[in-house]
Amino acid sequence: MSTSPEEKLAGLRSEIDRIDSAMHELLIDRGRVIDRLIEVKTSQGGGSAFRPVREARMMRNLAERHRGRLPLDTVESIWRVIISTFTYIQAPYSVHVDISRGEAAIRDSARFHFGFTVPCVAHRNAADVIAAVAESSGDLGMFPLDGGPEAGAWWTRLAPPQAPKVIARLPFVERPDHPAGLPVFVISKPLVEGAARDVVLDSVTLDQWRRGLPSALREVGAEIVGSAADGMGLALLVARPGEMMSQAVRAALRSAGGADVRSVEIGAHASRFDASTLRGRAV
């Protein structure tokens, strides 16, 4: 006896319901594991719930194994919300965002990466975001890579040892049409463990700008991410490979004529994943 189209559709919808129920049960199981994780961490004296290196590894594996019609945007956002929400359950936190370039893009990024359960707090500029994170008990901050209009050398505010530090650069999965594509840094109070160190950021000060500075850094694999005049001369934000020592950056700048070169590490982040490597798959 042949099956009618209506019966086939009913069977497929039943299969979807079964899968949805299984996914929900798995999320509940994940919550039970988090309960046990909280107990273990509490018995060990607590500690930060943020693990940027683990999160980067999870998102890289997710992108590499993805296939089929479902857009990678959707899958990435779902997993981001799962990770961020369960982190919030472990240790409640807020995300402080800089709206100096307008609210839409930065809020899209915050909601894409952290969902709606995690509170999102707006601030006028990067300096206010940094101050809010410094005064918090464990919040995150987010602002554009350049710190927003009139931010100046914002990275120098991260130089003191106990000041917040950069822990991530988002979006992690790079693609031209990313729905939350505004390039941002994420900061937190200094992490004792779990930091991703593929790329290390240094706050560098020297006497003045010289034309040969960018090429001198490129020769050793580093680059200037930001520059601004400050009261001490010139302030640079320099990104270097994690395996490179800061001395190599200072030596390269001196070779280009830089005088009185000083540097302080102000954070690090994971290398971004290039979605163009996923050719032939729906992304």
State pLDDT tens for residues 222-243. Answer: 999 999 987 768 999 999 999 9
Residue 1 clears pLDDT 70, i.e. is over it: no
The tens digit of pLDDT for each residue in 54-90 reads 999 999 999 999 999 999 999 999 999 999 999 999 8
Q: Spell out the residues 6+ positions from residue 85 whose beta carbon is closer than 8 angstroms to its own.
A: 115, 117, 118
Residues of the chain above pLDDT 90, percent: 75
- Whole-number Å distance between alpha carbons of 37 and 267: 27
Residue that wins the pLDDT comparison between 113 and 278: 113
Q: How many residues does the chain have?
A: 283
Task: Note the pLDDT tens digit of each residue in 81-131.
Answer: 999 999 999 889 999 999 998 999 999 999 999 999 999 999 999 999 999
pLDDT band (50, 70, 90) for residue 47: low
Q: Is residue 281 very low, low, confident or very high in pLDDT (cuts 50, 70, 90)?
A: low
Q: In this predicted model, what pLDDT tens digit does every residue of 255-265 receive, in sequence order?
A: 988 888 999 99
Single pTM value for the model:
0.91
Distance CA 74, CA 283 (A): 9
Mean pLDDT over each residue of the chain, to the nearest integer? 91
